[in-house]
């Protein structure tokens, strides 16, 4: 399962270390019904939206 997660990070151009560090810190307080928001693809999109001018 971890290998699949890291491969998904690679597929979407996400740094696995940064992704895992952020997700593991936030997962405890994250709503279970919104688990797809923690996928590498969605995580990257949200990060890009935060950094947009």
Question: What's the rounded Cα separation, in Å, for the pair 47 and 38?
Answer: 11
Give the domain ranges of the chain. 2-51
With 90 as the cut, is the pLDDT of residue 4 above it? Answer: yes
CA of residue 32 relative to chain centroid, distance: 15
End-to-end CA distance of the chain: 36
Q: SS3 for 40?
A: helix
Per-residue pLDDT tens digits for 23-38: 999 999 999 999 999 9
pTM assigned to the model: 0.82
CA of residue 4 relative to chain centroid, distance: 13
């Amino acid at each position: 399962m971890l290998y699949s997660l890291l491969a998904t990070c690679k597929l979407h151009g996400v740094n696995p270390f940064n992704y895992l560090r952020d997700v593991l810190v936030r997962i405890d307080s994250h709503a279970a019904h919104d688990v797809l928001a923690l996928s590498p693809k969605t995580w990257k999109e949200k990060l890009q939206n935060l950094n947009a001018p």
